[in-house]
Amino acid sequence: MKPVVVHMFWAYGTLSRLERLCLASFLDHGYNVLLWGYGPPDNAPPGILLRDARELLPEDRVFTYANGSYAAFANLFRYKALSCLGGLYADTDVVCLLPADRLPEWPFLVSERRKAAPLAVNNNVIWSPRPRAGDIVDLALAVTERFPVDALEWGDCGPKLLTALAATYPKLAFRVMPPQFANPIDYWDCPGALLSPRTPSIKGTGFLHCYNELWRRVGIDKEAAFPEGSLLAELSRRYLGPD
Protein backbone atom coordinates (compact mmCIF):
# COMPACT_ATOMS: atom_id res chain seq x y z
CA MET A 1 0.00 0.00 0.00
CA LYS A 2 1.29 3.45 -0.91
CA PRO A 3 2.12 5.50 2.19
CA VAL A 4 -0.58 8.02 3.16
CA VAL A 5 0.62 11.61 3.13
CA VAL A 6 -0.97 14.03 5.57
CA HIS A 7 -0.52 17.74 4.93
CA MET A 8 -0.48 20.14 7.88
CA PHE A 9 0.24 23.87 7.97
CA TRP A 10 2.05 26.07 10.50
CA ALA A 11 2.86 29.50 9.10
CA TYR A 12 5.65 30.67 11.42
CA GLY A 13 7.14 30.15 14.83
CA THR A 14 7.52 27.52 17.50
CA LEU A 15 5.07 24.68 18.02
CA SER A 16 3.33 24.37 21.37
CA ARG A 17 2.80 21.15 23.31
CA LEU A 18 -0.64 20.77 21.71
CA GLU A 19 0.66 20.95 18.12
CA ARG A 20 3.55 18.59 18.88
CA LEU A 21 1.08 16.08 20.32
CA CYS A 22 -1.07 16.27 17.20
CA LEU A 23 1.87 15.88 14.81
CA ALA A 24 3.31 12.96 16.77
CA SER A 25 -0.04 11.16 16.79
CA PHE A 26 -0.09 11.03 12.98
CA LEU A 27 3.45 9.66 12.90
CA ASP A 28 2.50 7.00 15.43
CA HIS A 29 -0.35 5.83 13.20
CA GLY A 30 1.83 5.34 10.13
CA TYR A 31 1.31 8.55 8.15
CA ASN A 32 3.98 10.47 6.24
CA VAL A 33 3.58 13.90 7.83
CA LEU A 34 4.40 16.99 5.78
CA LEU A 35 4.40 20.19 7.83
CA TRP A 36 4.20 23.14 5.48
CA GLY A 37 5.19 26.67 6.51
CA TYR A 38 7.10 29.84 5.73
CA GLY A 39 9.28 29.82 8.85
CA PRO A 40 9.99 26.22 9.89
CA PRO A 41 9.74 25.48 13.63
CA ASP A 42 12.82 24.18 15.40
CA ASN A 43 10.91 21.85 17.70
CA ALA A 44 8.90 19.57 15.40
CA PRO A 45 8.81 15.93 16.56
CA PRO A 46 11.44 13.69 14.94
CA GLY A 47 10.17 12.18 11.72
CA ILE A 48 8.17 15.21 10.55
CA LEU A 49 9.12 16.37 7.05
CA LEU A 50 9.27 20.17 6.92
CA ARG A 51 8.20 21.59 3.58
CA ASP A 52 8.46 25.13 2.22
CA ALA A 53 4.93 26.45 1.64
CA ARG A 54 6.32 28.69 -1.12
CA GLU A 55 6.29 25.59 -3.32
CA LEU A 56 2.50 25.98 -3.46
CA LEU A 57 1.73 29.61 -2.61
CA PRO A 58 4.11 32.61 -2.59
CA GLU A 59 4.71 34.22 0.78
CA ASP A 60 3.19 37.51 -0.34
CA ARG A 61 -0.18 35.73 -0.43
CA VAL A 62 -0.11 35.20 3.35
CA PHE A 63 -2.72 37.15 5.33
CA THR A 64 -4.35 37.02 8.74
CA TYR A 65 -7.62 37.93 10.38
CA ALA A 66 -7.65 41.15 12.38
CA ASN A 67 -6.80 39.14 15.51
CA GLY A 68 -3.59 37.86 13.91
CA SER A 69 -4.87 34.33 13.23
CA TYR A 70 -3.64 32.56 10.10
CA ALA A 71 -6.78 30.39 10.01
CA ALA A 72 -8.25 32.07 6.91
CA PHE A 73 -5.02 31.66 4.96
CA ALA A 74 -4.80 28.05 6.15
CA ASN A 75 -8.15 27.47 4.44
CA LEU A 76 -6.67 28.61 1.14
CA PHE A 77 -3.52 26.58 1.68
CA ARG A 78 -5.32 23.29 2.39
CA TYR A 79 -7.41 23.52 -0.77
CA LYS A 80 -4.29 24.35 -2.78
CA ALA A 81 -2.33 21.42 -1.33
CA LEU A 82 -5.11 18.93 -1.90
CA SER A 83 -5.90 20.21 -5.39
CA CYS A 84 -2.26 19.89 -6.42
CA LEU A 85 -1.12 16.84 -4.50
CA GLY A 86 -4.06 15.02 -2.96
CA GLY A 87 -3.82 13.19 0.33
CA LEU A 88 -5.13 13.85 3.81
CA TYR A 89 -5.23 17.36 5.25
CA ALA A 90 -5.49 17.89 9.00
CA ASP A 91 -5.20 21.00 11.12
CA THR A 92 -2.44 21.11 13.72
CA ASP A 93 -5.03 20.93 16.51
CA VAL A 94 -6.23 17.47 15.42
CA VAL A 95 -5.08 14.31 17.23
CA CYS A 96 -5.01 11.21 15.03
CA LEU A 97 -6.55 8.00 16.36
CA LEU A 98 -7.01 6.20 13.03
CA PRO A 99 -4.18 4.10 11.53
CA ALA A 100 -3.25 5.09 7.99
CA ASP A 101 -4.08 1.63 6.67
CA ARG A 102 -7.68 2.01 7.88
CA LEU A 103 -8.47 5.08 5.81
CA PRO A 104 -11.20 4.31 3.26
CA GLU A 105 -10.44 4.38 -0.46
CA TRP A 106 -13.16 6.98 -1.04
CA PRO A 107 -12.72 10.68 -0.14
CA PHE A 108 -14.52 12.26 2.78
CA LEU A 109 -15.32 15.47 4.61
CA VAL A 110 -16.15 15.66 8.33
CA SER A 111 -18.99 17.33 10.21
CA GLU A 112 -19.61 18.94 13.58
CA ARG A 113 -22.63 19.73 15.69
CA ARG A 114 -23.91 23.30 15.99
CA LYS A 115 -25.95 24.66 18.89
CA ALA A 116 -28.90 26.04 16.94
CA ALA A 117 -28.45 24.68 13.44
CA PRO A 118 -28.17 21.41 11.50
CA LEU A 119 -24.83 19.64 11.27
CA ALA A 120 -22.15 21.63 9.48
CA VAL A 121 -19.13 20.51 7.49
CA ASN A 122 -15.85 21.42 9.14
CA ASN A 123 -12.65 21.50 7.11
CA ASN A 124 -10.32 20.44 9.95
CA VAL A 125 -9.91 17.02 8.26
CA ILE A 126 -10.29 16.36 4.52
CA TRP A 127 -9.38 13.12 2.73
CA SER A 128 -8.92 13.53 -1.01
CA PRO A 129 -6.79 10.61 -2.25
CA ARG A 130 -6.65 11.80 -5.86
CA PRO A 131 -7.06 15.42 -7.02
CA ARG A 132 -9.94 15.83 -9.44
CA ALA A 133 -10.90 18.96 -11.37
CA GLY A 134 -14.38 20.14 -10.43
CA ASP A 135 -14.71 18.28 -7.13
CA ILE A 136 -15.64 20.09 -3.92
CA VAL A 137 -12.03 20.87 -2.99
CA ASP A 138 -11.37 22.34 -6.42
CA LEU A 139 -14.49 24.50 -6.16
CA ALA A 140 -13.52 25.63 -2.65
CA LEU A 141 -10.09 26.62 -3.94
CA ALA A 142 -11.61 28.68 -6.77
CA VAL A 143 -13.90 30.59 -4.37
CA THR A 144 -11.24 31.10 -1.70
CA GLU A 145 -8.65 32.38 -4.17
CA ARG A 146 -11.09 35.10 -5.26
CA PHE A 147 -12.73 35.96 -1.95
CA PRO A 148 -11.78 39.55 -0.94
CA VAL A 149 -9.46 39.26 2.04
CA ASP A 150 -10.73 42.46 3.65
CA ALA A 151 -14.29 41.10 3.60
CA LEU A 152 -13.49 37.74 5.25
CA GLU A 153 -15.21 36.84 8.49
CA TRP A 154 -14.44 33.81 10.65
CA GLY A 155 -15.23 30.58 8.80
CA ASP A 156 -16.27 32.20 5.51
CA CYS A 157 -13.92 30.06 3.41
CA GLY A 158 -13.81 27.19 5.88
CA PRO A 159 -16.88 25.51 7.42
CA LYS A 160 -19.37 28.01 5.94
CA LEU A 161 -18.07 27.51 2.41
CA LEU A 162 -17.81 23.71 2.50
CA THR A 163 -21.22 23.37 4.14
CA ALA A 164 -22.80 25.51 1.42
CA LEU A 165 -20.99 23.71 -1.42
CA ALA A 166 -21.85 20.25 -0.11
CA ALA A 167 -25.53 21.20 0.25
CA THR A 168 -25.76 22.90 -3.14
CA TYR A 169 -23.69 20.45 -5.20
CA PRO A 170 -24.06 17.02 -3.55
CA LYS A 171 -22.86 15.19 -6.69
CA LEU A 172 -19.52 16.99 -6.42
CA ALA A 173 -19.16 16.60 -2.67
CA PHE A 174 -17.37 13.84 -0.77
CA ARG A 175 -19.07 11.60 1.75
CA VAL A 176 -19.65 13.56 4.98
CA MET A 177 -18.66 11.68 8.11
CA PRO A 178 -20.68 12.09 11.34
CA PRO A 179 -19.41 14.39 14.12
CA GLN A 180 -18.16 11.48 16.25
CA PHE A 181 -15.61 10.62 13.57
CA ALA A 182 -13.48 13.79 13.78
CA ASN A 183 -15.28 16.30 16.02
CA PRO A 184 -16.52 14.12 18.88
CA ILE A 185 -16.30 16.86 21.52
CA ASP A 186 -18.44 19.88 20.67
CA TYR A 187 -16.65 23.19 20.23
CA TRP A 188 -18.60 24.81 23.06
CA ASP A 189 -17.14 22.20 25.45
CA CYS A 190 -13.55 22.90 24.38
CA PRO A 191 -11.00 23.14 25.79
CA GLY A 192 -12.62 22.35 29.13
CA ALA A 193 -13.66 18.78 28.32
CA LEU A 194 -10.20 17.99 26.96
CA LEU A 195 -8.51 19.16 30.16
CA SER A 196 -11.00 17.80 32.69
CA PRO A 197 -10.36 14.67 34.78
CA ARG A 198 -13.86 13.58 33.75
CA THR A 199 -12.63 12.05 30.50
CA PRO A 200 -15.23 12.17 27.72
CA SER A 201 -15.83 9.15 25.52
CA ILE A 202 -14.09 9.13 22.16
CA LYS A 203 -15.24 5.66 21.17
CA GLY A 204 -15.50 5.31 17.41
CA THR A 205 -13.40 8.42 16.85
CA GLY A 206 -10.87 8.60 14.02
CA PHE A 207 -9.60 12.09 14.75
CA LEU A 208 -9.97 14.36 17.79
CA HIS A 209 -10.37 18.06 17.00
CA CYS A 210 -9.14 20.21 19.89
CA TYR A 211 -10.45 23.57 18.59
CA ASN A 212 -7.28 25.61 19.02
CA GLU A 213 -9.14 28.91 18.52
CA LEU A 214 -11.20 28.32 21.66
CA TRP A 215 -7.99 27.96 23.69
CA ARG A 216 -6.82 31.35 22.43
CA ARG A 217 -10.12 33.03 23.23
CA VAL A 218 -10.10 31.91 26.87
CA GLY A 219 -6.37 32.48 27.31
CA ILE A 220 -5.20 28.91 28.04
CA ASP A 221 -1.50 28.27 27.45
CA LYS A 222 -1.10 25.46 24.89
CA GLU A 223 2.46 24.87 26.09
CA ALA A 224 1.47 24.18 29.70
CA ALA A 225 1.41 20.60 30.95
CA PHE A 226 -1.98 18.97 30.51
CA PRO A 227 -3.78 18.35 33.83
CA GLU A 228 -3.21 14.89 35.27
CA GLY A 229 -6.10 12.55 34.55
CA SER A 230 -7.31 14.51 31.53
CA LEU A 231 -7.81 13.10 28.05
CA LEU A 232 -4.99 15.19 26.63
CA ALA A 233 -2.61 14.11 29.39
CA GLU A 234 -3.32 10.48 28.49
CA LEU A 235 -2.83 11.12 24.76
CA SER A 236 0.34 13.12 25.41
CA ARG A 237 1.91 10.21 27.31
CA ARG A 238 0.91 7.88 24.50
CA TYR A 239 2.35 9.92 21.63
CA LEU A 240 4.98 12.23 23.17
CA GLY A 241 6.08 10.09 26.10
CA PRO A 242 6.48 11.19 29.74
CA ASP A 243 7.43 14.79 30.49
Reported in sequence order, the residue ranges of 67-200 that DSSP labels E, i.e. its strands, are 87-90, 94-96, 108-114, 117-128, 175-177
pLDDT score for 166: 97
pLDDT score for 106: 97
8 Å CB contact between 74 and 63:
no
Residue 226 included in any domain:
no
Residue 34 included in any domain:
yes
pLDDT score for 66: 82
Range of the domain at 146: 5-179
pLDDT score for 1: 58
Q: Quick one: average pLDDT of 128-155? A: 95
Residue 186 included in any domain:
no
Q: What is the pLDDT of residues 88-140, one digit of tens each?
A: 999 999 999 999 999 999 999 999 999 987 899 999 999 999 999 999 999 99
Q: What is the pLDDT of residues 178-234, one digit of tens each?
A: 999 999 999 999 999 999 998 788 888 999 999 999 999 999 999 999 999 999 999
pLDDT score for 118: 84
Beta bridge pairs of residue 207: 96
d(CA 77, CA 69): 14
Residue 149 included in any domain:
yes
Residue 222 included in any domain:
no
pLDDT score for 114: 93
At 124, which CATH number?
3.90.550.20
Residue 229 included in any domain:
no
Residue 215 included in any domain:
no
Domains of the chain: total: 1
**Mean pLDDT in the chain?**
95
Q: What is the pLDDT of residues 50-86, one digit of tens each?
A: 999 999 999 999 998 888 889 999 999 999 999 999 9
- Sheet containing 108-114: give its strands across: 49-52, 32-37, 5-9, 87-90, 117-128, 108-114, 175-177
Residue 72 included in any domain:
yes
